[in-house]
Amino acid sequence: MLTLEELIENDTFQSNIWIEKIRQFNDLKSFIGNFNYYHLLLAIQGIKANNVIDVKHHFFVSAFIDELQINRFNSRLLDYGFRSISYVLLSDNEALIQRYAKLRYQRGVNAELSMDEMVAIGEIPIWCNTVQFFMANDNIGVERNLNIIETKTLPKIPKKEEGLKDDYEFYKALHTEDKAKMEEVLAKLVSPKIHKKRNDNPILNQYISLPALGYAKLAWRKGIEVEVNSPLVPKDLLPIKPLDNYEIPYDFLKENI
């Protein structure tokens, strides 16, 4: 298995090839995901180096790419996007966070139902959608989704996904501002067994635990400074401190603003 540094070195070289193919074949869709993962690796490198500015910048770029994928290609990443939605929170870019909170995929060739329709019947995007409501400080939306999760989602949840009950408990605690309960759930999420199950990337899981880190950030955004006794939830990333400047590093992204 390649190390973090080796992966970054390889993707740094490959990125020039990806850019040329995007230009040559006008094929953004096939290559944009590569840049997403590349900037996640760079963010992790920033965590390893204790460089919070780099971390926030690269999470911003990754989240900006998510936004483009949903808006332009109707990506359904919010069906399974616990990680992605954490990255935008960790960027501290409030403008992007509020746009991200409104992202929805629509009915189309890759979606028989829209995201909102899926949420209404308690299907998988309800988890990320609930986080979106927290991001937007939409308490009515949060309360509606908690009711849907309780009455429609949890009764039919597959055994292999029963761990999502922890997420439901966290959402309830966050909504009622129950700090002790939030910290209890977060401690469970970073426990070795649960962390391993929910963080299967052998590089990323050495440095961060998701969704625990994203959930802790949500609490801090609400003014509740939860504490998580784990290096996998870096404390330096929890305070809300936007960067003075966020740079979009590629012309092909700037063209799609």
List pLDDT tens digits, range 135-187: 999 999 999 999 999 999 999 999 999 999 999 999 999 999 999 999 999 99
Q: Which amino acid does the sequence have at 211?
A: P
| Count of positions (residues) in the chain | 257
Q: Of 88, 81, 87, whose CA–CA distance to 105 is shortest?
A: 81
Q: How confident is the model at residue 163, as a pLDDT?
A: 93
Between 13-27, 113-127, 134-148, 172-186, the lowest mean confidence (pLDDT) is in 13-27
- Among the residues of the chain, which ranges form H helices? 4-25, 28-48, 52-73, 82-91, 94-101, 115-120, 126-135, 139-148, 164-176, 179-189, 192-198, 212-221, 251-254
pTM of the model: 0.96
Confidence of residue 109 (pLDDT cuts 50, 70, 90): confident
H/E stretch holding 126 reads helix 126-135
End-to-end CA distance of the chain: 36
Confidence of residue 81 (pLDDT cuts 50, 70, 90): confident
Whether the per-residue pLDDT at 111 is higher than 70: the answer is: yes
Confidence of residue 257 (pLDDT cuts 50, 70, 90): low
- The domain segmentation of the chain, as residue ranges, is 4-243
Q: At 168, list the tokens.
A: 């439901």
8-state DSSP, 108: B
Q: Which residues contact 221 (CB under 8 A, 6 or more apart)?
A: 89, 134, 135, 240
- Residues 194-245 have pLDDT tens digits of 999 999 999 999 999 999 999 999 999 999 999 999 999 999 999 999 999 9
